[in-house]
Amino acid sequence: MKIVKYMISGIMIIFLILSVIPYLITLQSETLNLERPFYNSLFVDVSDTKLHYRVWRSEDIRGNILLVHGLGGSTFSWEKAADILNDKGYFVIAVDLPAFGYSSRESGFDHSQENRSDLLWKLVDEIEMSHLMGHNENWTLVGHSTGGGTVATMAVAKENKVKEVILVAGALFNRDPSVTSLVLKYPPASKWMEVLLNRLLINEKRVEEILLSAYGRQPDEREVNGYLLPLKIEGTERALVDMVKSAGSIDFNSYKNMSVPIYGIWGTEDKWVELDQAERVERILPHFMLYTIEGAGHMAMETHVEECTDIILNIID
């Protein structure tokens, strides 16, 4: 009996030590220019959340486009495409979702697609009042990867405000809550995850490896820094853990009755959201139209920007 008691006591001591250690580890972060990261950066407080967005204005507005990035991305993911779309006369907005880019990282934020949708529609209302002033036409919503789920949810919420939805390697299908999300409800486990993200993910070598896989080619220094620098902002790790705990999509059946046209643009070599997912959407949604870009990976709007924007313009013109 004494041996069992000693074992239990030992396990409890180890458990307590492991629960305390992550709080003693200092997370590495950098001080960046958060006031104006880009020449066209703007900030707005929406529902107590500070959102960073970028505006590409046009004299004669042909239409309004909202660009939403995917996991780990930011407005940087869209800037090449935004330049081209703006040159064609479109008023373009790209936004950083909470926890990403230069938007806020408050603890406990609800990262569900439904809440993201509500937040972005409030942002659109702000933009229409402050920038468009009478040009409040319906919006073309373009989302990459998990951002595809965000814009599709926006369309379900306000069909009357949406001209069309375009998914670039869009992730629509909901995933069941993972064991990880349940474990992370224990605060020390969340703190350990923050430490691991800080030490193992948020560094130049790891970001370069991720982009190599997503791009399907070697990223250059500017591309690596474009993704790495926002991840180094203080609070990113905690915000990413919150995202794992609260992320969730609406029921896929919600898209079936949507009258808004929905399109997909996929790279044939996408290893992250593979082409068969687009084909699955195509089978379920009769109004879905799929375009493919030969040889492109997961980030076609960056690596094959001309082909990708040509398709977008063909859809919306």
> Closest by alpha carbon to 300, among 173, 207, 169?
169
Mean pLDDT of the chain: 87
Model pLDDT, residue 1: 60
Amino acid identity at 215: Y
Tell me, letter by letter, the H, E, C secondary structure of 4-72: HHHHHHHHHHHHHHHHHHHHHCCCCCCCCCCCCCCCCEEEEEECCEEEEEEEECCCCCCCEEEEECCCC
Which residue's structure tokens are 């104006």? Answer: 36
What gap in Å lies between CA 294 and CA 197, rounded to an integer? 34
What gap in Å lies between CA 29 and CA 289, rounded to an integer? 43
Q: Is beta strand 288-293 parallel, antiparallel or unpaired with respect to 262-267? A: parallel
Task: Over range 77-96, report the average pLDDT.
Answer: 98
CA 155 to chain centre: 17
- pLDDT above 90: percentage of residues in the chain: 62
Q: What is the DSSP string of 226-241?
A: HHHHHHTSTTHHHHHH
What gap in Å lies between CA 120 and CA 97, rounded to an integer? 9
Beta bridge partners of 55: 93
- 184 vs 303, more confident: 303
What gap in Å lies between CA 38 and CA 307, rounded to an integer? 25
What gap in Å lies between CA 233 and CA 196, rounded to an integer? 16
Tens digit of each residue's pLDDT (9 = 90 or more) over 3-19:
655 555 555 555 455 55
> Closest by alpha carbon to 275, among 300, 260, 263, 292?
292
Q: DSSP 3-state assignment of 197?
A: helix
- Beta-carbon neighbour count of residue 170 at 10 Å? 30
Tens digit of each residue's pLDDT (9 = 90 or more) over 201-236:
889 999 999 999 999 999 999 999 999 999 999 989
pLDDT bin (cut points 50, 70, 90) of residue 177 is low
Both tokens of 177, joined, read 């809550």
Helix axis angle for 236-246 and 187-196, nearest 10°, is 120
What gap in Å lies between CA 107 and CA 286, rounded to an integer? 40
Domains of the chain: 40-316 (3.40.50.1820)
92: Cβ–Cβ under 8 A, 6 or more apart, which residues? 55, 56, 58, 65, 67, 82, 85, 86
> Closest by alpha carbon to 290, among 276, 303, 304?
276
Amino acid identity at 74: S
How much is the pTM?
0.90
